[in-house]
Amino acid sequence: EDQVTQSPEALRLQEGESSSLNCSYTVSGLRGLFWYRQDPGKGPEFLFTLYSAGEEKEKERLKATLTKKESFLHITAPKPEDSATYLCAVQADRTGGSYIPTFGRGTSLIVHP
């Protein structure tokens, strides 16, 4: 069974204080790992897809990295508008099977001005 564990559950930062969010996963054959941002009461907003260990992707103050066991979402010099819940999901590579991703519970990030 695929498993995704995100840590910490909640993170409070001061504006400009860089940090990282962790996504540990167990999957038999990774097809893709996804990061989303979700604001309260809204649908998740797609950020990144990572496919293989060593891959990195960046968008503004966010950088996602991937190893064989975990992914990190690095937030550099965050601003209050980066406050949201960040979700990680993994999609297993199953021959002829389901590609339904498994989501973690998310990390709630609050950035104080």
Partner 1 sequence: EAGVTQSPTHLIKTRGQQATLRCSPISGHTSVYWYQQALGLGLQFLLWYDEGEERNRGNFPPRFSGRQFPNYSSELNVNALELEDSALYLCASSLWGMDTQYFGPGTRLTVL
Please identify which residue in the block is written with the tokens 């966010």: 62
- Residues forming a β-bridge with 64: 57, 73
Q: Residues touching partner 1: how many (CB under 8 A)?
A: 21
Nearest distance, CB of residue 50 and partner 1, angstroms: 11
Nearest distance, CB of residue 98 and partner 1, angstroms: 5
**Alpha-carbon distances, residue 51 vs 15, 17, 112 (angstroms):** 31, 29, 33
Q: Does 22 sit near partner 1 (CB under 8 A)?
A: no
Q: Does 69 sit near partner 1 (CB under 8 A)?
A: no
Cis peptide before 78 (omega within 30 of 0): no
Looking at beta carbons only, is 47 or 111 nearer to partner 1? 47
Q: Does 72 sit near partner 1 (CB under 8 A)?
A: no
- What's the chain's Rg over C-alpha atoms? 14
| Rounded Cα–Cα distance for residues 72 and 107 (Å) | 12
Segment contacting partner 1 by CB under 8 A, of 21-29, 43-51, 54-62, 75-83: 43-51
Residues that bind partner 1 (CB under 8 A): 31-32, 34, 36, 41-46, 49, 87, 89, 98-101, 103-106
